[in-house]
């Protein structure tokens, strides 16, 4: 067996393992059977465990062989005329670390949730969705083309919404799940349009053919500046939605309605970083477009300022962590916009790991905090109040109000976009009823 | 073709339907209907594999396009017969459904286009009958009669304007030679296009479909829209002439259908009733087929054919799921959450999967057709193509909203009322198809490409 073939098999198994676990759990459910809680947890953990082994082995093989990247062609999914949807994976210095992170964290969450959600009514549903989510993240990260990345991107979006609404017997998770899905759905158009336009302009959506000249984080592209700018702006739009950046950041605190393990993996670690990941992948395109890079920096700075401000007034630990995540992701955006891609990758991985830990410990955090204060005999010193002290008192009050309302982002979106559009649509619907009544005459 | 598979596929359901109408075998009616539908499905698959003209009735023939559509229609009918709620599935209702199947199979198999005109009119019959015999809203019945009458008149007049002498022999009216013998009449093409827009509920003739969905049981209405006889007639009658009549750069159906798709998707967002939502989703997704059919390139045409099959199958699955939900829990408003997940978990799963397939979620067959279509549309109609993205986003949201409203929320009291075995078979078979074809779409896409090639070959 050649090294290439072995590496290809290993890399494929990383994506295929969680998909296989999902298929097994899903089929059992589809045929009306029920799996034991213990077995479903073990199956999911095994799927991601296999993924960890596959990722490490692939990285080692590439290292031993002295190669920067491996392109795995899994074949053509479908083709018509000149167009072919080729399934290609790209394993390199960018994708392998993120795949390692994704498989380790998903496996950890599976193991954690086995106890955390023990005897919870939706335990198996959670495990099934975790597999699908993991497969989606791995597809996005190992994708060798924008086409494949889009498929994974959609899987992540759907599972996010379903897990936000995990506790579906209450009203609030359902409302917030739908809001999250709506933002995702709108922003996904950016990535879909990117894949189609790039295919049309360059004749391919594969990174290997599109982004030339050297291993990541280097490389260049043959696309002209105008086209590169258009593509980067679309990618930025997609990334802003997925990574909860200003002005579409309002869904992130709403998404905290889901169970803590899913909050950790989605909004602390993986999902929220996918926007940054795609931008890292499109680095050579960003190099061609100063406009898009500047906009990326501006969005990052605005979000960092917004999130750090709003995060200070949050009264529950998960929302505070969500805004802390948003701040760090925003800084990663700035780093990418400024061209510090390697730094951004290191930052991303470190942040994802730390934040997962914080989220998973969040339920016991308050308890431990009280224990610590009891042991010390006094309250712990408060930190994080330096920034606002520099401002005049009047501004402090104004900013406090602004922060309490989370920058009015969702309110403005609702008042300026959602309500007018729905108002017009409802008016049209009434006209439809009236037309039928008029055409039909008397009842 | 040495065995008369087509004759069997067309006549068997008609005869069985008439027998069921006249018999008193209430307890055995569904068994008879299921056996007949299975036999028809088998015959349709056999006819599709053999292709060519039927040895008993030379009027019937199969080419690459109808080879895809005949088994598809037979499958839809089998699903409906198997899954129809017990309260609806009287011998009379099942008999009418089988007669409807016979009409549709004949329409998709007949080569003489005069017969297609006759069957076009006849295919409206079951819904007209249901609207006038049951205790439905008479206003809606009159609206449907108005639209179906206008559509039938426009289609037959257009056909006569384009065709050879009305009394000419069958060979002259065959779709195999239509592009050579038909007159490139502007009025004829315009009338047929209008008829197709009326039938497919495209803007500005869309209002009848949500109204009919609103008052009739979902099953018979699904048979009117899911097979898409309008799109088929367009391919057979108007498409071969359209470019020579309208010119290379005049596109009517594509932009109008894109507008229809986006408009219906938008209205889907504000629907407060599950049935009406299904109706707007049907309008929106089936409009995409027409977009694909008018795309200049073969890829778009292939995408249109694949969307035709995937949307038809997913829509039927979704419609049946909605029908079964209604039969168990009554008419459902989307204004509040109903919390049915605990009571009908499998039904919830089927509803979600069929809905996701309908809107083209990755890994399902709808994604494949949608992907091909999106690329072709952006090339053919770059500006109007943006509407397709709006449609995709809005329909996806509507499906999840409906799922949340129907299945999530404070759980409803009562025991589990999930799918019974026959309903499971009826819904799981197409679901497996949707998933399998989504993961391994090459055979379907190749068949769609072959159909597209045949369509292009017959274009003047």
Q: Quick one: A416 and A306 in the same domain?
A: no
Q: Quick one: B237 and B286 in the same domain?
A: no
Backbone angles phi, psi at A399, to 5 degrees: -65, -35
Q: Quick one: B146 and B52 in the same domain?
A: no
pLDDT digits (tens, 9 = 90+) for A368-426: 888 888 998 888 877 666 677 788 888 888 888 998 888 898 899 999 999 999 999 99
Burial grade of A387 (CB within 10 A; 0-12, 13-18, 19 or more): exposed
Q: What is the mean pLDDT of chain A?
A: 88
Contact A185 B397 (CB under 8 A): yes
Q: Quick one: A412 and A269 in the same domain?
A: no
Q: Is residue A114 a part of any domain in this protein? A: yes
Closest listed residue to residue A281, CA positions, set A76, A90, A106, A105:
A90
Q: Is residue A262 a part of any domain in this protein? A: yes
Q: Quick one: B190 and B290 in the same domain?
A: no
**Is the pLDDT confidence value at A1 over 60?**
no
Determine the Cα–Cα distance for residues A339 and A211; give it in Å rounded to an integer.
16
CA nearest to B397 within chain A: A182
CA nearest to B209 within chain A: A436
Residue B407: domain span = 251-460
- Give the pLDDT confidence score for residue B241 in this predicted structure: 84
- Give the pLDDT confidence score for residue B134 in this predicted structure: 67
Contact B411 A185 (CB under 8 A): no
- Give the pLDDT confidence score for residue B306 in this predicted structure: 92
Q: In chain A, how many domains are there?
A: 2
Contacts of residue A29 in chain B, CB cutoff 8 Å? Answer: 346, 349
Q: Quick one: B149 and B84 in the same domain?
A: no
Contacts of residue B375 in chain A, CB cutoff 8 Å? Answer: 83, 196, 199-200
Q: Is residue A253 a part of any domain in this protein? A: yes
**How do the pLDDT tens digits run along chain B, 460 residues long?**
678 899 999 999 999 999 988 876 667 888 999 999 999 999 999 999 988 888 888 889 999 999 999 999 999 999 999 999 988 888 888 999 999 999 999 999 999 999 999 999 999 998 888 888 766 678 888 999 999 999 999 999 999 999 888 888 888 888 888 888 888 888 999 999 999 999 999 988 999 999 998 887 778 888 888 999 999 999 999 888 887 887 777 778 888 999 999 999 999 999 999 999 999 999 998 898 888 887 766 678 898 899 999 999 999 999 999 999 998 888 889 999 999 988 888 899 889 999 999 988 888 988 998 888 888 888 777 777 788 888 989 999 999 999 999 999 888 877 777 788 889 888 888 888 888 988 999 999 999 999 988 888 887 6
- Give the pLDDT confidence score for residue B1 in this predicted structure: 66
Q: Is residue A370 a part of any domain in this protein? A: no
Name residue B174's beta-bridge partners. Answer: B112
Contact A193 B389 (CB under 8 A): yes
Tokens of B387: 């509407």
Tokens of A405: 């309302």
DSSP annotation of A80 reads E
Last residue of a domain, one of B87, B109, B131: B109
Contacts of residue B363 in chain A, CB cutoff 8 Å? Answer: 151, 155
Last residue of a domain, one of B225, B246, B267: B246
Q: Quick one: B100 and B137 in the same domain?
A: no
Q: Is residue A169 a part of any domain in this protein? A: yes
Residue A72 and residue A144 in contact, taking contact as beta carbons nearer than 8 Å: yes
Could you tell me which residues come within 8 angstroms of residue B213 by beta carbon, excluding any fewer than 6 positions away?
B221, B275, B276, B278, B279, B282
**Is the pLDDT confidence value at A150 over 80?**
yes
Q: Quick one: A356 and A430 in the same domain?
A: no
Q: Quick one: B13 and B155 in the same domain?
A: no
CA nearest to A203 within chain B: B375
Q: Quick one: B374 and B412 in the same domain?
A: yes
Determine the Cα–Cα distance for residues B385 and B274; give it in Å rounded to an integer.
28
Q: Quick one: B226 and B257 in the same domain?
A: no
- Give the pLDDT confidence score for residue B10 in this predicted structure: 94
Closest listed residue to residue B312, CA positions, set B437, B192, B206:
B437
Neighbours of A384 (CB within 10 A): 9
Contact B266 A82 (CB under 8 A): no
- Give the pLDDT confidence score for residue B297 in this predicted structure: 64
Q: Quick one: B7 and B100 in the same domain?
A: yes
H helix and E strand count, chain B: 21, 2
- Give the pLDDT confidence score for residue A262 in this predicted structure: 85
The C-alpha angle B312, B309, B160, rounded to 5 degrees, equals 85
Residue A266 and residue A317 in contact, taking contact as beta carbons nearer than 8 Å: no
**Which stretches of B269-330 are assigned E, i.e. beta strand?**
none
Last residue of a domain, one of A343, A363, A383: A363
Interface test with A, best of B376, B377, B404 (most A CBs within 10 A): B404
- Give the pLDDT confidence score for residue B130 in this predicted structure: 83
Task: Say how many CA atoms lie within 13 Å of B77 toward its Cβ.
Answer: 36
Contacts of residue B389 in chain A, CB cutoff 8 Å? Answer: 189, 192-193
Q: Give the closest-approach CA distance of B137 to chain A in angstroms.
A: 7
Could you tell me which residues come within 8 angstroms of residue A407 by beta carbon, excluding any fewer than 6 positions away?
A246, A249, A306, A309, A310
CA nearest to B388 within chain A: A189
Closest listed residue to residue B411, CA positions, set A170, A298, A373:
A170
Last residue of a domain, one of B77, B109, B141: B109
Q: In chain B, how many domains are there?
A: 3
- Give the pLDDT confidence score for residue B416 in this predicted structure: 74
SS3 (DSSP) at B334: coil
Last residue of a domain, one of A332, A363, A394: A363
CA nearest to A87 within chain B: B439
Q: Quick one: B183 and B304 in the same domain?
A: no
Q: Is residue A381 a part of any domain in this protein? A: no
Contacts of residue A32 in chain B, CB cutoff 8 Å? Answer: 346, 418-419, 424
Q: Quick one: B180 and B308 in the same domain?
A: no
- Give the pLDDT confidence score for residue B70 in this predicted structure: 95
Write the DSSP assignment of A392-411 as a string of letters: -HHHHHHHHHHHHTGGGHHH
Contact A168 B404 (CB under 8 A): yes
**Is the pLDDT confidence value at A213 over 80?**
no
Q: Is residue A256 a part of any domain in this protein? A: yes
ipTM of the complex: 0.91
Q: Quick one: A160 and A98 in the same domain?
A: yes
Determine the Cα–Cα distance for residues B282 and B212; give it in Å rounded to an integer.
12
Neighbours of A343 (CB within 10 A): 14
Q: Quick one: A354 and A415 in the same domain?
A: no
SS3 (DSSP) at A145: strand
Residue A123: domain span = 3-363
pLDDT digits (tens, 9 = 90+) for A217-264: 777 777 888 999 999 999 999 999 999 998 898 888 888 888 888 888
Q: Is residue A323 a part of any domain in this protein? A: yes
Q: Quick one: B271 and B299 in the same domain?
A: yes
DSSP annotation of A75 reads E
């Amino acid at each position: 067996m050649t090294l290439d073939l072995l590496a290809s098999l290993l890399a494929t198994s990383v994506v295929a393992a969680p998909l296989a676990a999902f298929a097994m759990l899903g089929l059992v459910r589809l045929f009306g059977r029920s799996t034991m809680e213990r077995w479903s947890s073990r199956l999911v953990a095994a799927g991601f465990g296999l993924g960890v082994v596959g990722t490490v082995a692939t990285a080692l093989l590439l290292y031993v062989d002295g190669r920067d990247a491996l392109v795995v062609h899994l074949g053509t999914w479908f083709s018509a005329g000149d167009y072919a949807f080729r399934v290609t994976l790209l394993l390199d210095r960018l994708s392998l670390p993120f795949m390692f992170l994704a498989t380790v964290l998903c496996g950890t969450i599976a193991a954690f949730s086995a106890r955390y959600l023990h005897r919870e009514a939706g335990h198996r549903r959670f495990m099934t969705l975790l597999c699908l989510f993991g497969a989606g993240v791995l597809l996005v990260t190992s994708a060798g083309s924008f086409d494949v990345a889009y498929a994974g991107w959609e899987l992540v979006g759907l599972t996010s919404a379903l897990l936000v609404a995990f506790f579906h017997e209450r009203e609030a998770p359902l409302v917030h799940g739908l809001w999250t899905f709506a933002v995702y759905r709108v922003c996904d158009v950016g990535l879909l349009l990117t894949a189609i336009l790039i295919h049309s302009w360059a004749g391919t959506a594969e990174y290997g053919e599109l982004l030339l000249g050297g291993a990541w984080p280097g490389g260049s592209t043959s696309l002209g500046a105008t086209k590169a700018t258009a593509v980067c702006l679309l990618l930025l739009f997609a990334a802003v939605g997925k990574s909860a950046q200003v002005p579409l950041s309002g869904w992130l605190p709403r998404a905290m309605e889901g169970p803590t393990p899913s909050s950790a993996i989605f909004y602390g670690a993986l999902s929220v970083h996918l926007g940054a990941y795609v931008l890292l992948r499109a680095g050579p395109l960003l190099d061609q477009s100063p406009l898009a890079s500047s906009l990326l920096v501006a969005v990052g700075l605005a979000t960092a300022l917004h999130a750090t401000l709003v995060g200070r007034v949050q009264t529950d630990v998960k929302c505070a962590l969500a805004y802390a995540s948003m701040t760090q992701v925003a800084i990663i955006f700035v780093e990418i916009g400024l061209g510090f891609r390697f730094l951004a990758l290191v930052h991303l991985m470190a942040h994802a790991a730390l934040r997962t830990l914080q989220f998973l410990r969040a339920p016991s955090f308050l308890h431990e905090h009280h224990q610590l204060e009891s042991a010390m005999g006094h309250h712990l010193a408060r930190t994080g109040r330096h920034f606002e002290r520099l401002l005049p008192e009047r501004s402090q009050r104004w900013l406090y109000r602004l922060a309490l309302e989370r920058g009015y982002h969702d309110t403005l979106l609702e008042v300026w976009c959602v309500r007018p559009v729905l108002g017009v649509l409802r008016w049209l619907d009434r006209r439809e009823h009236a037309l039928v009544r008029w055409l039909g005459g008397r009842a | 073709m040495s065995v008369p598979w087509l004759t069997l596929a067309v006549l068997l359901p008609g005869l069985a339907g008439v027998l069921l109408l006249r018999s008193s075998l209430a307890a055995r009616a569904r068994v008879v209907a299921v056996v007949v539908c299975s036999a028809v499905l088998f015959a349709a698959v056999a006819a599709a594999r053999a292709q060519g003209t039927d040895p008993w009735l030379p009027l019937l023939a199969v080419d690459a396009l109808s080879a895809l559509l005949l088994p598809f229609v037979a499958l839809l009918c089998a699903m409906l017969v198997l899954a129809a709620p017990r309260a609806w599935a009287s011998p009379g209702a099942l008999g009418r459904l089988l007669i409807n199947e016979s009409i549709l199979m004949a329409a998709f198999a007949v080569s003489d286009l005069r017969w297609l005109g006759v069957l076009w009119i006849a295919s409206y019959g079951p819904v007209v009958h249901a609207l006038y015999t049951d205790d439905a809203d008479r206003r809606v019945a009159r609206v449907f009669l108005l639209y179906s009458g206008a559509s039938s008149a426009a289609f037959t007049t257009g056909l006569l304007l384009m065709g050879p002498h009305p009394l000419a022999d069958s060979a002259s009216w065959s779709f195999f030679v239509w592009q050579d013998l038909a007159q490139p009449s502007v009025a004829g093409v315009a009338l047929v296009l209008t008829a197709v827009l009326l039938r497919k509920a495209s803007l500005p003739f869309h209002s009848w479909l949500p109204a009919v969905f609103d008052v009739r049981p979902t099953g018979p209405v699904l048979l009117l829209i899911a097979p898409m006889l309008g799109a088929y007639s367009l391919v057979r009658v108007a498409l071969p002439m359209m470019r020579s009549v309208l010119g290379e750069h005049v596109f009517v159906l594509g932009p109008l259908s894109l507008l229809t798709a986006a408009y219906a998707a938008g209205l889907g967002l504000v629907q407060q009733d599950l049935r009406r939502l299904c109706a707007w989703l049907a309008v929106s997704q089936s409009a995409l087929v027409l977009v694909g059919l008018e795309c200049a390139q073969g890829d778009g045409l292939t995408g249109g054919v694949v969307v035709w099959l995937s949307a038809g199958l997913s829509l039927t699955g979704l419609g049946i799921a909605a029908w079964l939900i209604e039969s168990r829990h009554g008419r459902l408003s989307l204004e509040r959450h109903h919390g049915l997940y605990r009571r009908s978990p499998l039904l919830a799963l089927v509803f979600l999967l069929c809905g996701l397939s309908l809107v083209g979620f990755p890994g399902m067959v709808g994604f494949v057709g949608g992907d091909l279509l999106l690329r072709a549309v952006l090339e053919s109609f770059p500006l109007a193509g943006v509407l397709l993205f709006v449609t995709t986003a809005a329909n996806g949201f509507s499906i999840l909203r409906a799922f949340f409203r129907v299945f999530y929320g404070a759980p409803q009291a009562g025991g589990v009322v999930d799918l019974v075995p026959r309903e499971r078979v009826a819904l799981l078979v197409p679901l497996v198809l949707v998933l399998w074809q989504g993961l391994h779409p090459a055979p379907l896409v190749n068949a769609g490409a072959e159909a597209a090639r045949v369509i292009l070959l017959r274009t003047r």
